[in-house]
Chain A
Amino acid sequence: MSTAAVPATRLAPSLSDRLSTLIFSRRGLLPGLLILPPLLWFGIVYLGSLLSLLANAFFSIDEFSGAVVRDISFGNFVAIFSPTNLDVALRSTAMSLSVTAACIAIGFPIAYYMARHARGTGKALLYVAVMLPLWSSYLVRLYAWKLLLAKEGAISWVLQAVGLQWLLDGVLSLPVVGGSSLSFSPLGTFIVFVYMWLPFVILPIQAAIERIPASCLEASADLGAHPAQTFRKVIVPLAMPGIAAGSIFSFSLTLGDYIIPQVIGNSTLYIGQVVYRQQGVAGNLPFAAAFSLVPIVVIGVYLWLAKRKGAFDAL
């Protein structure tokens, strides 16, 4: 009996042998195992929280105690379309679009210069200058801007000193964007948003422009194209993936932010603030969940439009 068993154990492969055979014979297994933890993270933590958000949107709250009532209703979705909430959604979208446009308008020339003209130390310094704000805290920069934009702050003081107070007053008296001071006006909110997200727009555009082969530009010039034509027909289309990537950053970051408009602005609310208030202040988690689906839908539409414009073709 024992003599029969010995050769059998000798023939049986060890566990690690069997594992390596398994991995060798099933080609997809090892990558699958390696990708499993991040997939679980994505599936459970990321999609799971999104789904629980969606589920919460169907609940409602008890009017007196503020406790969540777990009965399915569509009341929250109807409430999104009330004029007040539509105002908030439109205001936020308009702000996101204008911040994105301004970020591209300011960021593109800087990115172009960084990619095509700056050399050596100059280029390194430009990189540092663009990234430097990201090294300090977002809140510190925000409160610094509050001091700069205040009625008795640095900007207003400089304008007064050079005799341009009338210009500031004129801008602040404009309807919609104006207010009693820069830090109390939507214009101030806009300025701070543009400042905050500019690095996120410059860097992808710069990377995209850097990838345009110089030969393309030379060919365009050789074929008699005017510089403006080259810009329109060669540079912009080839830089489009970078512009699209940058604009998605600035658009989505603006749409979701709730701290900047709380500190700078005229107390009109943006999507992030309404979500924060309904959840954190009024304790209405179900409505906050429903309302936070609005930016998801808006971003979805934005990505779809960007795709239709061919922004992702070069990716």
Chain B
Amino acid sequence: MRIAKTAAVLTTALAVGVPSLAQQPLKSIGKGEGQVDIVAWAGYIERGATNKDFDWVTEFEKKTSCKVTVKTAGTSDEMVALMNEGGFDLVTASGDASMRLIAGKRVQPINVALIPSYATIDPRLQKAPWHFVNGTHYGVPYQWGWNVLMYNTKVFGDKKPDSWATVFEEQTLPDGKSNKGRIQAFDGPIYIADAALYLMKKKPELGIKDPYELNETQYKAALDLLRGQRKLVGKYWHDAFVQIDDFTNEGVVASSSWQFQANILGSKKQPVATVVPVEGATGWADTTMMHSEAKHPNCAYMWLEHSLNTKLQGDLSAWFGSVPVVLAACKGNKLLGDGGCERQGLGSFEKISFWRTPTTKCASQKDQCVPYHKWASDYIAVLGGR
């Protein structure tokens, strides 16, 4: 009896004690390990290879002697999978990945006292729910932005599209031809939320309050909409650079996209523009998080501090079409221009539905929501035409 009790106490102590031991953040930054490995979205960590004006790695490497290696990922799921595999120090996780990483204990708490620039971050983001959990910081905000509707200005002329219907419903475009085969959609399951966002306005009777909190009926309506869209989409986009090629060579004229693709296409003198339709937009807010078994924690902390550098934040914003988390970066950046932040959504923070992982627990639908793993397998079915 007594032994059993002791064992029980011990087990409890172990169960409680071990994770909290593993979760101690760094107390001070030591000497750099000479390397830092980062999982990032394409275009997020530039060393001047695509365009020499956009380089925020070379200077960091010179200053700290930490060599930066980047593994790009195409979707949030890919980021979670890479972090589960291990071998990386940092990840630029969107809100739909960050909570999974925290729940899966793949990322470690961050000691923000070691990051002097943390205080310069936009106050709306300093303790945002997608990285600040139970009073603990799990990362440093990096950038945020929205998923815009990119369109071909030659095809649309002066009738610029104002609704996501352009990519969800079959219709004749201003050039007189149908949109069938000429539009694209994102091939990650999180795109189901874009369909839900469109339905929020289109079919208010469904009662969708939040595109990431869908009950069975609302979810089914979103899938039906996406099945209809499958017939209009020639090929879904996955990789930002492949989409750029599709807009150039494949006659694709409208798609959900990032400002990033539009900026590159613009620099190649392609006739494209972006718009935020009346339904609003989904968006992402990315956080640099640190792997729980990071091999180069000192260099990682140095990068976290560097990631808030106003020059980097402004340059990245100009490059990616996103919004800096350090507001001071909006002023006086040559590449971004003074109106850049406003143009890219700074004033619309409240209107964006930021990506997060759908779970069964949801306030707006009485905890009856469809969880993310269903989204993932059903979206494969939608792509397969089922």
Contact = CB atoms under 8 A, between A and B. Distances in A.
Are A and B physically bound partners? yes
Interface of A: 61-67, 83-84, 87-88, 91, 146-147, 150-153, 179-181, 183-184, 262-263, 265-269, 274, 277, 279-284
B202 interface: no
Given A152-B249, A181-B234, 19 more contacts: A64-B357, A64-B372, A65-B100, A65-B103, A67-B84, A83-B386, A84-B381, A150-B245, A180-B181, A180-B182, A183-B250, A266-B234, A267-B235, A268-B385, A269-B383, A279-B81, A281-B188, A281-B376, A282-B376
A50 to B, nearest CB: 20
A146 B13 CA distance: 59
B163 interface: no
Contacts of A153: 249
A84 B386 contact: yes
Contacts of A180: 180-182, 234, 250-251
Contact of A184 (B103, B105, B188, B234): B234
Contact of A267 (B77, B376, B383): B383
B257 interface: no
A83 B384 CA distance: 10
B203 interface: no
Contacts of B81: 66, 279-283
A65 to B, nearest CB: 3
Interface residues of B, number: 38
Given A66-B84, A84-B380, A150 B77 contact: no
A153 B81 CA distance: 36
A302 to B, nearest CB: 23
A277 to B, nearest CB: 7
Contacts of B169: none
A146 B383 contact: no
Contact of B380 (A152, A262, A263, A274): A274
B377 interface: yes
Name the prevailing secondary structure of the A interface residues. Answer: loop
A152 B180 CA distance: 17
Interface of B: 75, 77-78, 80-81, 84, 100, 103-105, 180-182, 187-188, 233-236, 238, 242, 245, 249-251, 357, 359, 371-373, 376-377, 380-381, 383-386
B249 A281 contact: no
A35 to B, nearest CB: 35
In the A-B complex, the 9 residue pairs with the smallest Cβ-Cβ separation, listed nearest first, are: A180-B181, A65-B104, A180-B234, A184-B234, A84-B381, A150-B249, A283-B81, A65-B103, A267-B236
A67 B80 CA distance: 10
Nearest to B357: A64
Contacts of A64: 100, 103, 357, 359, 371-372
B78 A87 contact: no
Nearest to B185: A267
B233 A267 contact: yes
Contacts of A184: 181, 234-235, 250
Nearest to A84: B381
Contact of B78 (A65, A91, A147, A281): A281
A283 B80 contact: yes
Given A180-B182, A263-B242, A279-B81, A66 B385 contact: no
In this complex, the member of B235, B373, B381 whose beta carbon has the largest number of chain A beta carbons within 10 angstroms is B235
